[in-house]
Structure 1
Amino acid sequence: MNFSPDSLLGEGGFWRVYEGWVDEKTLAPSTRGIGMAVAIKNYNAKLSDFGSVMLGPSKEEVPVSTGFATCTIGYIAPEYITTGDLYLKSDVYGFDVVLLELLMGLRVTDPEHPRGEQNLVDWLKPILSQETELKTIMDVQMEGQYSSEAALQAAQLSLRCLELDPQSRPSMKEVMEVLKEIEALASPSI
């Protein structure tokens, strides 16, 4: 199966991750822009680690030292870049970067964008807290598919996942619970 280069979200140490679309009820593949956007890795629809925290300690306070990065720079949590240590919540950061790419319809890094907008996280982090700006930065292909409240909750979740201190980030279980709440709000009210 061949994916369009336009759909490439990023590359890990052993795979490429593409944006794909599936029917919301049956999860069968669908046409771009119809249904639900998902990340596709080894051509299997799933969101998973980007090679950062594979197996680690059960306590979040204990760092996991890997010695090398097997994932794309844009997805790596800041604590790994600065100290070389990974925590269980380091993958929460990487997951959120993928979520932002899907919500905004943009890649994590894009040298073609104007200066200041080339790194998705650096550009969006200050904007995500501004409710009035959300409509202007969301992927136009998603227009009418979400409520303003759902967009605001997604932005607030993103900000929590992008916290510099990994202990301040939510757990993946918490992230999934919030995403289920957002899904319930997703029906458009505008």
Structure 2
Amino acid sequence: MAEINFHPDDREMSTLELAKNLGIAVFVISVFEVMFYAMYLEGEVVLPLLCGAPLGLILVALLWQCVMHSFGYGRMVMNGNEIVLRTPRSGKSSPSILDPLARVILAPMARMYMRDMDKDGDGRLSFEEVLDEMGGLSKAEYAEIRKLFDRYDEDGDGYISLKEMEEFIKHSEDNWAEEEGSGNWWSSDGN
């Protein structure tokens, strides 16, 4: 099986710890499920049964994640106050049926940004124009903006063109596991 993508803030849970934490949630949801089903049986009114359906789906999802953890297809981790199932696909994007729509929206959005930020009207953004748009920055923010600028200045001419701006917008919502090369799955800011 492929390696599981863990976030730096993840703390892997043992099976006993998982049973303790999710066991309480499963028990509470099961109690409500039984109550809704009993109300349905008593009055033969469909509304309690419909109210219990989402809880049943949540229960199935929780149990399925526990099964995946038990059989080694993923690992349950504690991340802050959340219990999360991490798999080899965690944090990676997959093709969406909305990708063509994004391409239709991308070009006008990039033109709008270029029109707003391009002060000298040459059709390209210099690093100084980007800084003017950002306002007062700390040293860390300056370094991060410089790094992003250099990353998306594909031809290395010191300017962001319209095509490069489209790439920047397109990749601005990338997931955490694809942020850097294959040696390091995580971005430096811990997304």
Q: Taking structure 2 as the reference length, what is the TM-score of the superposition?
A: 0.22
Bigger-Rg structure (1/2):
2
Which has more helix, going by share of residues? 2
Q: Taking structure 1 as the reference length, what is the TM-score of the superposition?
A: 0.22
